[in-house]
Amino acid sequence: MNKLTWKITLILFDRLWLYQFIHQYVISIFKKKNYPKVFCIGYPKTGTTSLYKALNILGYRAVRIFDTKTWHKKDLRKYISHIKKSKYDAFVDFPISDNILYQDIDKEIPNSKFILTIRDKKSLETSYKNFYKEAPFYEKILKDLEGKLLNLNKRNEEILKYFKNKPSQLLVMNIINGDGWDMLCKFLDKPIPKKKFPHKNIGRYKDKNIT
């Protein structure tokens, strides 16, 4: 994205909560409720957009970047309460992917399903650099990137350890490497759609000057 697009995106991001407030009630008219709720706890740039599209195809009322207004107030109890009350049944991207929020969700919303999207370190690093290269905070992204990737690896290991005795609740997917309908539909007990699995944004941010 260029600098102007970034400015517009950041402005719209501040109004996202209002759109979601209306959207969740509209979408509930057209899509049946799915149970249990599904939470994508993979970091952004690990195939989360593809997973979001796939969950929509499977009939889920999916949402991305849910209720950041409450999240930024650091009121965890209220945030999880909003998840419970919302008409959405699948949640993707930050802040669902933040730190150990998945543990609180698991305790407060028993029998939920969790999907951890992963990607190899080099590929993920390149994707971050290409995506954020025109962002006004690009230098900060670069400065924090190595530490972020190390923390991500540690967090993924903690997730695997946490769900070690709850294998039916966790699915690990490497969508970038080709994981798709077979794994996802088996995990969610859904029939495989006739549509191809959506691979969104892959290769979209290629730049020969960034490796």
Domain extent, residue 46, equals: 3-31+40-188
**For position 79, which CATH number holds?**
3.40.50
**Residue 211: inside a domain, yes or no?**
no
**Residue 12: inside a domain, yes or no?**
yes
Counting the structural domains of the chain, the total is 1
Q: Which residues of 111-125 are buried (b: 16+ CB within 10 A; e: fewer)?
A: ebbbbbbbbeeeebb
**Residue 206: inside a domain, yes or no?**
no
**Residue 193: inside a domain, yes or no?**
no
d(CA 6, CA 1): 6
**Residue 207: inside a domain, yes or no?**
no
**Residue 61: inside a domain, yes or no?**
yes
**Residue 202: inside a domain, yes or no?**
no
Q: Which two tokens stand for residue 69?
A: 């207004």
Under the banding of pLDDT at 50, 70 and 90, the label for residue 211 is very low
**Residue 50: inside a domain, yes or no?**
yes
pLDDT score at 206: 43
- What does pTM read for this prediction? 0.84
Instruction: Calculate mean pLDDT across residues 63-90.
Output: 91
pLDDT over 90 for what percent of the chain? 55
